[in-house]
């Protein structure tokens, strides 16, 4: 499918979605006619939520946005872009440490799909410390994660952590 540069995607693990993710998704959606949030259904990553659960959480949280579609995808996201005529991939960057990794990833993705433009969007300052991995650890030790994630995620994390620690 021919790429449209009015259509973007924001891929990630979202395990679980954080306020930082939601912020970058909502800011990206303002810029494009359509934004796909692509939940990576990656067999190699050790996720605490299934791709379906992560997709469901994002769908609920983002239900007010008509131009956002949440999908889960197993495979290379550059292929998802090719199949769906997506011209732009957005990646959020929090700190300089993110940049090195993201830059290399962008180089690889450009080699795999030359028509896909990768753009980096800096985090909003209030979210720059938010990481899904830290949230999982905090939840496992019973810390209050409610300032960092949407209410639905607090609820889903609570149930999951209880199951994991039983
Ligand atoms: P991945 O496993 O692909 O890094 P993540 O779920 O960690 O997926 O992140 C998905 C996207 O959201 C990435 O582009 C990441 O940089 C961005 N992101 C994650 N947390 C934040 C945050 N606090 N502020 C801005 N962007 C973020």
Going residue by residue through the chain (166 aa), what tens digit of pLDDT does each one get? 899 999 999 999 999 999 999 999 999 999 999 999 999 998 777 899 999 999 999 999 999 999 999 999 999 999 999 999 999 999 999 988 888 999 999 999 999 999 999 999 999 999 988 888 899 889 988 899 999 999 999 999 988 876 666 6
For residue 113, what pLDDT is reported? 94
Dist CA 33 CA 13 (whole Å): 23
Distances in Å between the Cα of 104 and the Cα atoms of 51, 62, 109 are 25, 30, 9
Q: How far is the CA of 135 from the centre of ligand 1 (A)?
A: 13
Whose C-alpha lies nearest to ligand 1, atom 19? 21
- Those residues with Cβ within 8 angstroms of residue 132's Cβ, 6 or more apart along the chain or in another chain: 13, 14, 15, 16, 17, 18
Q: How far is the CA of 90 from the centre of ligand 1 (A)?
A: 10
133 is in an annotated binding site: yes
Distance of CA 41 to the CA centre of its chain: 12
Which CATH architecture does the domain made up of 4-129 adopt?
3-Layer(aba) Sandwich (3.40)
74 is in an annotated binding site: no
Question: What values do phi and psi take at 56, rounded to 5?
Answer: -60, -45
List the catalytic residue out of 54, 55, 72, 132: 132
Q: How far is the CA of 114 from the centre of ligand 1 (A)?
A: 23
Q: Which of 8, 17, 24 to mutate to test the pocket of ligand 1 (most atoms within 8 A of CB)?
A: 24
């Amino acid at each position: 499918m021919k790429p449209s540069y009015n259509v973007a995607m924001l891929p990630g693990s979202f395990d679980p979605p954080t306020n930082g993710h939601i912020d970058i998704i909502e800011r990206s959606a303002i810029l494009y006619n359509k934004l796909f949030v692509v939940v990576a259904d990656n067999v190699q990553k050790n996720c605490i939520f299934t791709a379906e659960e992560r997709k469901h959480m994002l769908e609920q949280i983002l239900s007010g946005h008509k131009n956002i579609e949440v999908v889960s995808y197993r495979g290379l996201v550059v292929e998802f872009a090719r199949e769906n005529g997506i011209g732009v991939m957005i990646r959020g960057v929090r700190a300089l440490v993110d940049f090195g990794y993201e830059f290399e990833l962008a180089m690889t993705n450009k080699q795999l799909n030359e028509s896909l433009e990768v753009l980096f969007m800096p985090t909003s300052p209030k979210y720059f410390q938010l990481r899904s991995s830290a949230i999982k650890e905090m939840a496992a030790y019973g810390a209050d994660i409610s300032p960092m994630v949407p209410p639905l995620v607090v609820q889903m994390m609570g149930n999951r952590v209880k199951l994991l620690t039983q």
